[in-house]
Structures are given as C-alpha cells and as structure tokens.
Amino acid sequence: MENLTLNNGVQIPQLGLGVFLVEDANDLKNSIADALKDGYRHFDTAAIYHNEAGVGEALAESDVKREDLFITSKVWDSVQTYDETIAAFHESLKKLQTDYLDLYLIHWPSNGYEEKWRAMESLYNDGLIKAIGVSNFEQPQMDKLLASAKIKPMVDQVETHPYFQRKDLNAYLTDLNIAHEAWGPLGQGKSGVFTDATLTKIAADHDKSIAQVILRWHLQRNIIVIPKSVHAERIAQNIDVFDFTLSDAEMTAIAGIDKNQRGSADPNDEDWLNKSLEMN
C-alpha cells in the first residue's frame, strides 16, 4: 500500500474502502473483514450513511491495531452551528468506537460551513482529529472558506472518474497543497466507463480489469481513492493495482476521454443544498 503525505505531515493510505449505501450489517461486516485481510487500512464513512456503528463494530472485532487504521467520517449538512458540529463529531466517535478520527470532513458546502470549520479546527487543535478537510467543495466555496480559516483543509473529497476528471480543480488543489480525494472513482457503475473503448484496450494490454486501470490512473494523478464494493473478489482486485504502471501515452489517452459528466448532485446547486438540510 502506498501513502500520500497531507499538508500537515499526516500519512494517508492512497487507496481505501468506501462504504456509501452499505447498510446491511452482514454485508458491511464481511466487506470490512475481507478488506482488512487484503491489506486495506483506510475506511471512509459518514454520518449520513447510517453505518458508522457497523464500521466501528467490524473494526473493533479485527486484530488490527487502531494506530494502523485510517478512519474517515463526515459531518452532515443538517448540522450547522459550532456546538452542533462538536456534538455530531462526538456522536461519530462513539459509534465508531474510537477516541479520535484520522480525517473528518464537511460533507457538502451547505449553509454554515464556516462555523463547522471553526469547530473542526478546535477539535483538530485538541488532538481529536489527525486531519481535517472538506468534501464536494468547488473553487468558489474553497476560496470563501480559506478567507476565514485559520487552518487550511488537508483534503477535498469530490466526485472524480475518467468521464469527470476535474482537471481544473485538481490543478487548483495541487497549487494549494490540498489533497484531491475521489469519491465514485469508478463512476458509481452508472457513467458508462466500463464499456469505454480506450479503457478496454489499456486493460487488455496490461491483463488487468478496467476497474484496476481506472484506479491506477487515479493513483498516478496523486489522487486518493475509496472504491466501494461488498464483493470479496472485487475488494481484492481493487487493491491489486500496485504492480503495474500506465505509460505517459496511456495517461494522455485517458485524459482525452473526459466528458465533464457529473453523475451526482452539483455542489453549486443551491436548491439541492437547501433540501439536504432536511435530510438526516
């Protein structure tokens, strides 16, 4: 497993397991056990996923030491004030059966994110979080946050896949020394990337799956990836991407298939952000 170093010196495993939409207790427990066996140490959840307790239970039952794990969670949009953020964080800690988080993120740039950030800075300064960051922040929201932040975010986790490559955002984050983390790195199975002719050819040339080629492409862009799966075979396959390298020509070819095709909600959609405040 390869690590990236965040702007505060913390090491983050560049590939982890995402658990978005995995609510079945057995699926969750089995997928985490399979992932641990295959060498995963980075696990990404969120309050809104309603599975933090299951993740905490599965990790507590393993024989992997807490200091060898990297656990991420996120504070949801309905939490808006400083005090609510502190309370939500401690609720996540309790569910995850841990006394600190490795990474805590603001899930979306909904109203109140500056106050949430202030609370996260306090938690970080108190040593309760190793690294703090944001998710789904585009450049305007990041610029606004940076204007008042005392601590620069370490990570921005955003939808990124071969049909939505985020080249401009990637360059912006790189300039700021903020790590780019991809959610939906394989297009969430709905983007059409698995039938793409360019990716199909590259996969055949390396005797790898299209998913493995996509994950390798992310890694070579210095992007953190958290592919989600509940299937043991795919979990094993997704981490088996450190024994080959894509050539410059192959990286260029993949750069050429970008469609700027967003598959989920747009962080700039104020109506969606306002509706998210009602979700729990």
Asked whether the beta carbons of 164 and 263 are under 8 A apart, the reply is yes
Where b means 16+ CB within 10 Å and e means fewer, 186-219 reads bbbeebebbebebbeebbeebebbbbbbbbbbbb
Would you say 215 and 238 are in contact if contact means Cβ atoms under 8 Å apart? yes
What is the spatial distance between Cα 165 and Cα 263, in angstroms, rounded to a whole number?
12
Q: Catalytic residue among 40, 49, 113, 124, which?
A: 49
Residue 218, marked binder: no
Instruction: Determine contact, residues 19/55, Cβ cutoff 8 Å.
Output: yes
Torsion angle, CA of 52/55/59/60, rounded to 10 degrees? 50
**What distances in angstroms separate CA 35 from CA 24, 42, 123, 189, 231, one per listed residue?**
16, 9, 29, 20, 10
Q: What are the CB-based long-range contacts (under 8 Å, 24+) for 79-82?
A: 79/47, 79/112, 79/116, 80/110, 80/111, 80/112, 80/115, 80/116, 80/277, 81/112, 81/115, 82/115, 82/116, 82/118, 82/119, 82/122
With 0-12 / 13-18 / 19 or more C-beta atoms within 10 angstroms meaning exposed / middle / buried, residue 265 is middle
Give the pairing of strands 179-183 and 155-159: parallel
Q: Is 163 a catalytic residue?
A: no
Known binding site for substrate: residues? 107
Residues with a catalytic annotation lie at: 49
